[in-house]
Amino acid sequence: MCIMNGARLKDKHCLIVGGTTGLGFAAGRRFLDEGARLVIAGRSVENGAAAVDALGGAGRVQFCSCDAADATQVGLLFEHVIDSLGGLDVVYHVAGISGRRHGDGPLHECTDDGWQATLDANLKSVFLTNRAAVRHFLDRRRPGAILNMASVLAFAPSPRYFDTYAYSATKGGIIAMSKEAAARYAPDKIRINVIAPGLIDTPMAARACADDVIRTFLRTKQPLANGPGQPEDCADAAVFLCSDEARFVTGTVLTIDGGWCVSEGQFV
């Protein structure tokens, strides 16, 4: 069955964790364009209110404040989403941090605090939201779709400019966890996939995107864009993987990198 653009997520109950800025916000806009019933979650109430206004108001999308690394808050989030939407079909986990300001960096410089803060925000949070989603789908005996956000740095490192050890470890962990769960729950018709972007122009990537030397490097490392990608590049892919068009797809890692993984990248 071919589903026309504009209705690929029609009447699907969707949750985007980390949907208030950057990649999550862009996905939220596309989900709504495709007919989704949507809740976005994030830690900042201020960012949540701004995102709801930008996406068309509370009549179109709801916001729920949540620290996805806190099991109690994740439980309350899912209760709220299921109650307010009348169910749940799709969970897209985008939330995460770079870890750099907490002390993440090269292995010999990465601090204990930087390691733990990055693992909690990036890996523990995915474990908690994915577990809650799978439990819901199993309890309701309904199919469901989970999409997680990784990074090309999990398998295509570029240490001269992007040497954050804990961050790369968490993104590799997300891929491993997603594949394990995809294999386990495929018989239950629960699909679990991963997006692995290159460098995308978002608030979290502001440091790199503002650095002239890094932007010069990206012209040859991500030649399809001659620089950073745009959030919409990932949002379009997310719509596909969360829709019934991807009904035969699970356990995949979709690289959206402008050529990062197949390009050497030239240094100044």
Torsion, CA 135, CA 1, CA 179, CA 151, rounded to 10: -110
CA distances, 182 to each of 71, 137, 268 (Å): 22, 13, 42
CA distances, 235 to each of 24, 31, 171, 243 (Å): 8, 8, 19, 12
Q: What are the beta bridge partners of residue 17? A: 41, 93
| List 92, 165, 167, 185, catalytic entry | 167
Told to judge if 167 belongs to the known catalytic residues of this protein, a careful annotator would answer yes
In 55-188, which ranges are continuous DSSP H helix? 71-85, 112-118, 125-140, 165-185
Whole-angstrom distance, CA of residue 99 vs CA of residue 116: 9
CB 35 within 8 A of CB 60: no
Phi, psi of 176 (to 5 degrees): -65, -45
Residues with catalytic roles? 167
